[in-house]
Amino acid sequence: MPSSNSGFQRLSQTALSRSRFLRLAAGALLPIIGVRPSVAQNAGAPATRDTAAPGRAGAILVSQFGPVKIHSYLSPADGFHVNTQMIEGPTAIVIFDGQLLLPYADEVASYVQTLGKPVDRIILSHAHTDHWSGLQVLTERFPNARVFALDGVADQLRARGQARLDSFRPIYGDRIATKVTIPTETITEGLQRIDGITYDFRRFVDAESDLQLAALLPAQKVLMAFDLVFSPNEHAFTLVDHFDHWMIILEQLKALLGYDTITIGHDTPVHRSAIDSTISYVKRAKQIHAASADAKTYSESLKAAFPDRQHAEWVDLSARLLYAAPLKAHL
Ligand SMILES: [Zn+2]
In this prediction, residue 178 carries a pLDDT of 97
Radius of gyration of the chain (CA): 18
CA of 57 to the centre of ligand 1 (A): 19
In this prediction, residue 54 carries a pLDDT of 78
Helix axes 273-291, 295-305, angle to 10 degrees: 140
pTM of the model: 0.84
In this prediction, residue 294 carries a pLDDT of 96
In this prediction, residue 241 carries a pLDDT of 92
CA of 257 to the centre of ligand 1 (A): 25
CA of 131 to the centre of ligand 1 (A): 6
Exposure class string for 223-236: b at 16+ Cβ within 10 A, else e: bbbbbbbbbbbbbb
Q: Which residues pair with 72 in a beta bridge?
A: 61, 85
Rounded CA separation 290/287 (Å): 5
Exposure class string for 192-206: b at 16+ Cβ within 10 A, else e: eeebebebebbebeb
In this prediction, residue 85 carries a pLDDT of 97
Question: Residues with Cβ within 5 Å of ion ligand 1?
Answer: 128, 227, 265
Rounded CA separation 307/183 (Å): 39
Nearest CA-CA partner of 136 in 155, 109, 163: 109
CA of 310 to the centre of ligand 1 (A): 15
242 SS3 class = coil
In this prediction, residue 5 carries a pLDDT of 30
CA of 80 to the centre of ligand 1 (A): 8
From first to last of its 331 residues, what are the pLDDT tens digits of the chain?
Answer: 333 332 222 222 233 333 443 444 333 333 332 233 444 444 444 445 566 677 899 999 999 988 899 999 999 988 888 999 999 999 999 999 999 999 999 999 999 999 999 999 999 999 999 999 999 999 999 999 999 999 999 999 999 999 999 988 998 999 999 999 999 999 999 999 999 999 999 999 999 999 999 999 999 999 999 999 999 999 999 989 999 999 999 999 999 999 989 999 998 889 999 999 999 999 999 999 999 999 999 999 999 999 999 989 889 989 998 998 554 444 4
CA of 249 to the centre of ligand 1 (A): 17
Nearest CA-CA partner of 211 in 198, 228, 233, 191: 228
